[in-house]
Amino acid sequence: MRAAIVEDAVMDRKELAGYLGRWGEETGTSVKVECFENGEAFLSTFAAGDWDVIFLDVFLSGMNGMETARRIRALDESCRLIFSTAAAEFAVESYEVASSWYLVKPYGYDKLKRALERCGPALRERYITVPGRYGPEKLMLSQVAWTEYENRRIHIHYLDGGETWALMNQGDFASQLLGCRDFCDCMKGLIVHFVAVEKLLPDSFLLRDGQRIPISRLKYRAVREQFLDYSYGQARGGPGYAGNR
């Protein structure tokens, strides 16, 4: 799980980061936390898909947390937003940016756990183990954009543009990925991760990096239904991966 904390109070940042580390240990989730002192600093490096959950204080120096949230939502509709602030008066307004929870300071670890549970299982990093060049490797599913089978091995393309290979057949590989609702077998030898998709076209997926992945005519109807179901679930704040941890 990739978590950003946008908070100008040093002690509050440290406390929340500690809670997140504890939650990661208890749930067996890989947690990466990065802290920012204000909204401007956070947005200066922000890109869609960078963060699974973002914690925002409302009362920030400079741009306040609500305005920061609105700018985040203009770029990324799927990341989870959790407000962590000293006043309850903005709770209703937080729904305008589809926040998952509203924490009122001071709060304890149990309330933080409830907030994360409200975000659904998508925050828990999912992985499968694949045979790599130097032995078994963990493949973090949240980082995968799409895969293709070629030359008796799996060519894995990451969201950040990186690549790797899994030395296994397509049937064994697909049986593990396709247990996750975010992945789709759109054509023989091709699997797409919906988080990488910008748009569904009449014959292909347009990915966020500009690439187009073809969809089999025979599979198009089923693929379209799966993608629309996924998109609807994301809009409603539904669950993420359904596969193995």
* 32 is a domain residue: yes
* 221 is a domain residue: yes
* 75 is a domain residue: yes
**215 shares a domain with 148:** yes
**133 shares a domain with 95:** no
Is pLDDT larger for residue 51 or for residue 10? 10
* 241 is a domain residue: no
**94 shares a domain with 10:** yes
* 240 is a domain residue: no
Q: By residue range, what is the domain housing residue 16? A: 2-123
**Sheet harboring 2-6: ordered strands across?**
32-36, 2-6, 53-56, 80-85, 101-104
Burial environment of residue 134 by CB neighbours within 10 A (0 to 12, 13 to 18, 19 or more):
exposed
**109 shares a domain with 45:** yes
Q: How many domains does the chain have?
A: 2
* 226 is a domain residue: yes
First to last CA, the chain: 12
Beta bridge partners, 5, equal 35, 55
Interval 30-80: pLDDT, tens? 688 999 999 999 999 898 877 889 999 999 888 999 999 999 999 888 889
Cα(212)–Cα(18) distance, integer angstroms: 42
At 33 the pLDDT is 93
**111 shares a domain with 152:** no
At 70 the pLDDT is 92
Residue 57's nearest CA partner among 111, 104, 109 is 104
Residue at a domain's end among 75, 104, 123: 123
- Percent of all residues in the chain with a pLDDT value above 90, rounded to a whole number: 55
**7 shares a domain with 119:** yes
Predicted confidence band at 181 (pLDDT cuts at 50, 70, 90)?
confident
Ramachandran category for residue 97: left, alpha or beta (phi over 0 → left; psi -120 to 50 → alpha): alpha
Interval 76-93: pLDDT, tens? 888 899 999 887 776 767
Do residues 166 and 152 touch, judged by C-beta distance below 8 A? no
**138 shares a domain with 106:** no
Hey, how many other C-beta atoms are within 10 angstroms of the C-beta on 243? 18
Q: Is the pLDDT of residue 241 over 70?
A: no
**143 shares a domain with 90:** no
**131 shares a domain with 64:** no
Q: Is the pLDDT of residue 236 over 60?
A: no
Interval 135-168: pLDDT, tens? 888 888 888 999 999 999 999 999 999 999 999 9
